[in-house]
Chains A and B, each alone.
Chain A
């Protein structure tokens, strides 16, 4: 009996092997408390986010339309939806005409919701100020088709209204008529497809909003100038929301901004836990 009894852990061993449920509880508290306490933090705007903002500002000046591609689904809603609404709010506040579509079929509902929500706030009219093309199968074929003739690729929009009858689409025939493409992309297909087929072939300025996971992969495109700007994860969305608020756009969203303190504290907690785990690991190894 004594031989089979579990060996009692030393403090250092316990430190190196803390039960994961305790860690989950710590993380939960670290996230929930700042949200309930409604803590706020200042968000410093980085240049890739400022570049996206400036690009949309230039659309307002040059009266060019914006193409927004909703390339995510509900699984990445927390990161991507605030980006989408922040960009749409900015565009509508500056009276930029918006065409929205999606190359992820499961993002259809979110794309529709974001457009309806923001367009109503600014009194934008469907068909005159914005159009939702919906979803079509075949990413590369869709983008290349739009590069030649949008109305052939999408004869009707998501509401089954022929594009020919839409006043704003009379001046938008192909991709090169857009001043900017913004792909809010949670993976593949996504911003890389817009770079491959729209930016490289039709030379349309392209910006991206990506999940934090894929942000590191997007930076080389930013450096090479292929991407006009970049919103990386929830932090990128919070920066854009801060820009919207700074410029006084009414009802600027705060979905991502309010999450920033919780995100910061959670990062600090993870760093502390990593240090504690390492101390426990090295101390228990030394004692052996």
Chain B
């Protein structure tokens, strides 16, 4: 056991206990640690943003460097974003707070122009393409994986080989996206989108398809919940590792 002599480790450990004390009930120690966290984060952010962007990209070329280093044209170009940025502070002056809309509208316009084409390409077109069944899957991948599944079933001797056969049937060899996997994805995508059709009552053919969509949604939520549990536990374990290793030195 080698207890740390570093005062910062001790401060971190004590703040950790202050935060964990919330598990018993809300208390002033928890509130203290929470406020310290928010304050430190904000202070850190301001310092990093100032010295990494605002100073080298705006203030230094505009006010420190002379005209031989930065041309007058470049300086004028820097004045425009600076004024736009200052408009944000107009939020505190009711008489001129409308000026805040100018940089906001500029930013929205820029962001939409940049984001929409990239988003359509990366999140829509590529995902749609990935959902479609390809002829090569139908003629090569699927028959191959079905043969492999049958072979595995024929040689089933243990529980593990049953699982292997099932996995081969559903997804093909690991990482290949074979088996009936692409078909399941297609059915899942169509059924889930159908569930979100709210302009027509879910009757007739829509009903079973939408209900299938609910099953896929529930499986998705279950997977997300499982991962969320793992994430929260990981954070807790990480902090326990810090206490046992860095602070107490028992592991």
Contacts and interface: CB of A to CB of B under 8 A. Distances in A.
Given A108-B48, A216-B227, A78 B238 contact: yes
Given A196-B119, A200-B122, A270 B229 contact: yes
Interface string A194-233: 0111011100000000011101110010011110000011
Given A78-B235, A196-B118, A259-B238, A216 B224 contact: yes
A175 interface: no
B28 to A, nearest CB: 19
B234 A105 contact: no
Interface stretch (B92-100, B126-134, B135-143): B126-134
Interface string B224-243: 10011111011111111100
B220 A266 contact: no
B39 interface: no
A136 interface: yes
Contacts of B23: 20-21, 24
A239 interface: no
The range of chain A's interface size is 35 or more
B234 A212 contact: yes
Contact of B118 (A32, A47, A197): A197
Nearest to A47: B175
A200 B121 contact: yes
B193 interface: no
A20 B121 CA distance: 47
Interface string B50-69: 00111010000000000000
Given A31-B236, A196-B118, A224-B130, A106 B230 contact: no
Contact of B233 (A48, A255, A267): A267
Contacts of B24: 21
Nearest to A25: B23
Interface SS of chain B: helix, strand, loop or mixed?
Answer: helix
A88 to B, nearest CB: 18
Contacts of A105: 44-45, 48-49, 52
Residue of B24, B231, B235, B240 contacting most chain A CB atoms (<10 Å): B231
B163 to A, nearest CB: 13
Contacts of A234: 230, 234, 237-238
Contacts of B234: 78-79, 212, 233-234, 259, 263
B223 interface: yes
Contacts of B240: 28, 31-32, 35, 262
B251 interface: yes
A199 B121 CA distance: 10
Interface in A95-112: 105-106, 108-109
Interface string A231-254: 011110000000000000000000
Contacts of B119: 196
B53 A136 contact: yes
A149 interface: no
Contact of B174 (A47, A76, A211): A47
Given A140-B114, A195-B122, A106 B45 contact: yes
Interface in B32-90: 41, 44-45, 48-49, 52-54, 56
Given A31-B240, A35-B241, A226 B126 contact: yes
Contacts of B236: 27, 31
Contacts of B220: 216
A196 B223 contact: no
A138 B231 CA distance: 28
A197 B121 CA distance: 10
A216 B223 contact: yes
Chain A to chain B: the 3 pairs with minimum beta-carbon distance, closest first: A78-B238, A47-B175, A224-B130
Given A134-B52, A270-B229, 6 more contacts: A24-B23, A78-B238, A78-B241, A137-B52, A258-B251, A267-B229
